[in-house]
Amino acid sequence: MGETTQLTTLQRKAGAGRGESDAPGMTPAKALRLALSKAAQEELSLALRVQGVAESRVNQPGLLAALSDDLLLLLLEGPQGGFGVAALGIQALAALIEVQTMGQVLKSPATQRRATATDSAMCEPLLGRALQEFEGHLAGSAAERWAAGFRFGERVENVRLLGLRLEEMDYRLFRISLDMADGAKKGELLLALPAEGCVQRKCGTDGGQSWAQMLHKTVQVSHAELLGVLHRAQMPLAAVTAFKIGDLVPVPQSAIGEVLLEGGDGRVVGVARLGQQNGYRALRITDDTSAGSGDGMVNITPQAAPEPLMDALGEDGNISAEMPMAPIDLDGEGALPDLPMPPMDDLTAGDIGEPPTAAMPMDMEIG
């Protein structure tokens, strides 16, 4: 053993005789611990300790499911136009605000509330610095390819809007438990970054075009409810309650070409002509926006199901214009007899004829 070097217990504990390849590497969890603690201390003079870091891999729906509208949701701007996400719970958020406004973190729990744009601005010093430190700790490691290049971005109102901004890919989701000011408050920070990095996946390389495509895709599957109003008329309640099967409600012939399209708030958004296409009644939108939006009481509109009858007698003895009542079916079999109608392309006022057009298979809604 002449040339054998004996290491003392102290030397072994200190790592003497061990090469660099044997030294423990910098893991993302360790990098987050160091980055957050240093950022809190140097930017806010806040004693922040990371109690735990749980890492998981999720797809975009899984990431959105892990978030909620009660959190402060922040986009992180990454390389090549990609995005990450940071989300703070109300307790962690309150601690950051208290230390900046009062110089200390209160021990009482914060009241649950929705986050605001002001909250986002108060968090930028901590999160902006922490992202820089996180990237620096992982420089030269395998994690650098997905951890580098992210910066504090903007607040997003809710999870639904956040989903419109995020690429459909896998994300590394970190749940970070925080202890602030020696236990005065305990909270949670969620951090999500593209699992394979933005450069490799080339996420968002087309910048605004990618955002426009996602917006277009979302709008295309969205629904907007419009009400087609053929005619409005006003009549006493006694006349309405006297309706019986087979009765007709007079509708002016001119109403065929002046069907009002109303939005959910009752405002007129367009005008259309009534006709049919492929055996179905249809409305062709026109550019005539001069039609009035009468204030009458009786709407002849399709109805899926009746609603409970409500008393709506006004001071003048007429039905209130705003109080909805039950649709009235005049044939007792779910719909009126079919009314032959020419194709939309050939529809003219002369094709309709003189009989009242209220005999079309539409229920009557008194609104």
Phi, psi of 350 (to 5 degrees): -70, -25
Helix (H) or strand (E) holding 75: strand 72-77
pLDDT score at 188? 95
CA 305 → CA 68, 242, 327, 336, 337, distances in Å?
35, 21, 8, 15, 18
For 296-313, the DSSP string reads: -SEEE---SS-------B
pLDDT score at 216? 65
Domain 25-220, CATH among 3.20.20.100, 1.10.20.60, 3.20.20.70, 3.40.1550.10: 3.40.1550.10
Q: pLDDT tens digits, residue range 246-287?
A: 888 888 888 888 888 887 777 888 888 888 877 777 888 887
Domain-by-domain residue ranges, the chain?
25-220, 227-366
The mean pLDDT values, 10 residues at a time, for the chain of 367 residues are 41 40 70 95 94 95 94 93 93 94 93 91 94 93 91 93 92 96 94 82 50 62 75 85 87 85 80 81 72 38 37 41 37 42 49 41 41
Handedness of CA 56, 62, 63, 65 (dihedral sign): negative
Q: pLDDT tens digits, residue range 214-241?
A: 666 666 656 677 888 888 888 888 888 8
- Dist. CA 84–CA 128, nearest whole Å: 13
pLDDT score at 292? 42
- Dist. CA 195–CA 65, nearest whole Å: 17
- Dist. CA 189–CA 88, nearest whole Å: 5
pLDDT score at 231? 85
CA 43 → CA 63, 129, 154, 176, 283, distances in Å?
29, 8, 20, 19, 62
Nearest CA to 54 out of 188, 222, 204, 237 is that of 188
Query: Rounded to 5, what percent of the chain is helix, strand, coil?
Result: 30, 25, 45
